[in-house]
Structure 1
Amino acid sequence: MGHQLTLSQLPQRIISLVPSQTELLFDLGLGDRIVGLTKFCIHPKEQVKGKTIVGGTKNFKLDVIEQLQPDLIIGNKEENYKEGIEQLQQQYPVWMSDIYTLEDSLEMMQLIGEITGTGTETRAHQLTQTIRSGFEQLQLPAQQPIKTAYFIWRNPYMAVGGNNFIDNILQHCGFINAFADLERYPEISTELLQQINPQLILLSSEPYPFSEKHIAEFQALCPLATIKVVDGEMFSWYGSRLTLAPEYLQGLIEEVQAAASASL
């Protein structure tokens, strides 16, 4: 993003503005150095409780941040808002990630390890190796890539388009994004959904809390589609939660394959 960051010493007072990166910091053993996080930073549950809330990912409480006197703020280009980040950059060292792929997330973890300490760098390397190995061992669907629509919002319907992290994770599962040629998070009409006619529809648990009760309305639109409610964290959290993703995604792949076989 064209912004160079120089630290004179290892950071001791860190604020994280991104939930998935907050969890990563804790898993790297930096819990005692984290002084602030957002209201959406919910993992690890017990450890985030005692930390100061500095607002949301799109609206920072600048006065609270000033009181915390951070020597490093960690954010993300997509999840945070430009004006707020630029304002923070005028006063504090702000390190930003920009994540589109699994590889981007692994690089981010390694870089955060490097800027926070030698021991942290070693832990980050171990973490990335575990995640990489897990994804390499995924057993993909035997059939051709499954045309998939991944929904993140309702009223209006919004899905995942191309060129983003969730789209990349879908590819790692052997699913092909039905809306990959559209903008990153397009609004989808019922007419377009029926026209595209995906084989698989995934309803994410976040940011909209899709649940089993929503399956029927999508089934009415696409009677032949397999429809699943999925854990959005497994598709969109690009920090250390990725250690849990391969097992979860493998289970989903097998469920989808079983449903496809049953419909033949």
Structure 2
Amino acid sequence: MSVYIDQMGRPVELPASPRSIVSLVPSITELLYTLQLDDQVTGITKFCIHPNNWFREKTRVGGTKAIKTSVIQELRPDLIIANKEENVKEQVEELAQHYPVWVTDVNNLADAMEMIEQIGAITSTQSRATRLISQINAAFSDLQNKNRDVKTGYLIWRNPYMTIGSDTFIHDMLGRCGFKNIFDHTTRYPAIDTWQLAQCDLLLLSSEPYPFQQKHIDELQAELPNTRIILVDGEMFSWYGSRLLHAPAYFTSLLQQL
């Protein structure tokens, strides 16, 4: 057994090579797949939709905010991976009384690279993690945003409309695209009114967690005639695991449309 410090600064005692891993974080589940931990990952959430074969075959332990502890108990995990934002604190603390729980806290690209490095270390996949980090960093280095500084809003929810503040991972991704988040004076995910979006040159409607569609563009366009409104792939802006390898190409394609 070894003691590691997670991204919350908590010491976690873990076996040298965990044999039963439960992931409570969709983007990290995909990362574990990329690190080739198929045999070790035994449980995932119902929102861990990538990869599809894991979604179909792995045991589901509930939702990210509604964990079924009885199912986890049957899996007898020697490592549970959670996230400060995506999972409920009280549920994570309860699990930590019985199992080793590694808690991640990712608010920007640097945090994500640190998280990938640490998970590589605790799962004995250091070389694969190091290679992935190098590939992601190279992909982002090639991202050309041309310093657009476009005044941009990003919606994640409807009724009420909710956006993203400056301390979120999505905010960091917007900046790397050259988009100026008009709500960078706020934190986390504030609710807003439509009139506050009037200053936007560009409004991005995310595919998740709320599944915005063309009808929502039409609805908002009537109130924001001078704003360009488009649908975007929320996974590319908010998933901070191995999907980051593909995000810069998606951002480049998005920028070419503008």
Band of TM-score, shorter chain = over 0.9
Aligned Cα RMSD in Å? 1.1
Shift in Å, 1:222: 1.8
Residues 142/110 of structure 1: CA separation in 2 closer, same or farther (3 Å cut)? closer
Per-residue deviation, residues 146-200 of structure 1 (Å, max 9, x unmatched): 1100001111111112211000000010001011111311111122223xx1111
1:214 aligns with one of 213, 216, 230: 216
Structural mapping, 1:182-221, within 5 Å: 182-194=186-198, 197-221=199-223
| Unaligned residue ranges in structure 1 (runs of 5+) | 257-264
Are 1:3 and 2:7 counterparts?
no
Question: In 2, distance between residues paired with 1:229 and 1:192?
Answer: 19
Q: Report the secondary structure of 2:155's partner residue.
A: strand
| Structure 2 letter corresponding to 1:193 | L
2:130 aligns with one of 100, 125, 137: 125
| Structure 1 letter corresponding to 2:57 | G
Are 1:178 and 2:185 counterparts?
no
| Structure 1 letter corresponding to 2:230 | K
Shift in Å, 1:48: 2.8
Shift in Å, 1:142: 5.2
1:239 aligns with one of 232, 241, 258: 241
The range that moved more, 209-218 or 82-91, is 209-218
| Structure 2 letter corresponding to 1:218 | L
Q: Does structure 2 conserve the Cα–Cα contact (< 8 Å) formed by 1:151 and 1:160?
A: yes
Count how many residue pairs are aligned between Structure 1 and Structure 2.
Answer: 251
Q: Does structure 2 conserve the Cα–Cα contact (< 8 Å) formed by 1:141 and 1:253?
A: no
TM-score (norm 2): 0.95
Considering fraction of residues, name the structure with more strand.
Answer: 2
Per-residue deviation, residues 2-40 of structure 1 (Å, max 9, x unmatched): 420122331010000000000000110001111101000
| Structure 2 letter corresponding to 1:157 | Y
Question: In 2, distance between residues paired with 1:157 and 1:228?
Answer: 16
Shift in Å, 1:87: 0.4
Q: Which residue of 1 aligns with 2:26?
A: 19
Per-residue deviation, residues 208-248 of structure 1 (Å, max 9, x unmatched): 00112211122122211111100000000000011111110
Are 1:92 and 2:94 counterparts?
no
